[in-house]
Structure 1
Amino acid sequence: MELTGAIEALKYIKTNNIYIEVYADSAYVVNGMNSWVKNWIKNNWRKSNKKPVENKELWMELNDLVKNQASVTFLKVKGHSGNAGNEKADELANQAMDELE
């Protein structure tokens, strides 16, 4: 779901070639985009242990969306630590889940 959240956020932006900062409490997303994805692409979507990358299609979609912008920086924030934006995102996610029930 963390990957889907980042994907949907970037899809929502209708302007291309701008500078974007993505704040996430997911080390998986932040590390993936800041460190791992370049090597995965170079290694034909395989990790350093030669196993296939999990969620490859989602990573590919996120990477494609990033390429449409001048710059996308992924920044890690600590979850549930008082960061106003992160707290609001968590509140909205919980609200949406409640509405689905």
Structure 2
Amino acid sequence: MIYLFTDGSSRGNPGPGGYGAILRFGQHEKELTQGFRLTTNNRMELLAVIVGLEAINRPELPITVVTDSKYVVDSVEKKWVFNWLTKPDFGKKANEDLWRRFVKVYKQRTVQFRWVRGHNGHPENERCDQLAVHSATRGPLLTDEGYELIERQRA
């Protein structure tokens, strides 16, 4: 079993943001984190899961994603994202670019989700939060091209 702990953060919504993820397989552990100059908290929550899943080079092993994001957990567990994909207006859905990326990696793995309350003393969630906040505030900050492209199109 591989465990993927994740959290996302943004300082303002939109604003500078970041994600943190911890991959754990037995005694092996790897931290992943990145900051972005303009994004949203939901994008960072989702991107943390995507980047973590993409980093797993043993897709045959079962994965448990532990996150405090109801947005991500409900979208998957309640099958919302899979229903959205069948709709002609899916391209207008918030974070459509990331959801497409998520579904691609999700379908290649056996993944279950477990929700934990954020900022409630869960050690791995707290560490992921630290990683996300640090990356959002100290950089280096990348461009969230999906978000900024959408914002340019709306302007």
User: Does TM-score exceed 0.5, indicating one fold?
Assistant: yes
Amino acid at match of 2:59: N
Would the alpha carbon gap of residues 78 and 37 (structure 1) be closer, same or farther in structure 2, given more than 3 Å must change?
A: same
Contact 1:45 1:56 in 2 (8 A): no
Amino acid at match of 1:80: H
Quote the Cα distance in structure 1 between the aligned partners of 2:123 and 2:101: 28
> Which residue in the other structure is 1:10 paired with?
53
> Which residue in the other structure is 1:41 paired with?
85
Q: Which has the higher helix share?
A: 1
Over the residues paired in the alignment, what is the CA RMSD in angstroms? 1.9
Shift of 1:42: 3.0
Structure with larger RCO (C-alpha < 8 A, sep 6+): 1
> Which residue in the other structure is 1:56 paired with?
96
How many aligned residue pairs are there?
96
- Among the aligned pairs, what percent are the same residue? 33
Q: 1:31 aligns with which of 60, 74, 77?
A: 74
- TM-score, reference length from structure 1: 0.82
Quote the Cα distance in structure 2 between the aligned partners of 1:75 and 1:43: 27
Structure 1 alignment gaps of length 5 or more: none
Quote the Cα distance in structure 2 between the aligned partners of 1:56 and 1:98: 26
Shift of 1:40: 1.2
Q: 1:76 aligns with which of 110, 115, 124?
A: 115
Shift of 1:2: 0.9
For 1:23-56, what per-residue CA distance to the aligned partner results, in whole angstroms no more than 9, with x for missing partners? 111111111111111211233464xxxx932111
Q: Which has the higher strand share?
A: 2
Quote the Cα distance in structure 1 between the aligned partners of 2:89 and 2:46: 16
- TM-score, reference length from structure 2: 0.56
Quote the Cα distance in structure 2 between the aligned partners of 1:45 and 1:67: 22
Secondary structure (helix, strand or coil) at the match of 2:92 reads coil
> Which residue in the other structure is 1:22 paired with?
65
Quote the Cα distance in structure 1 between the aligned partners of 2:81 and 2:51: 18
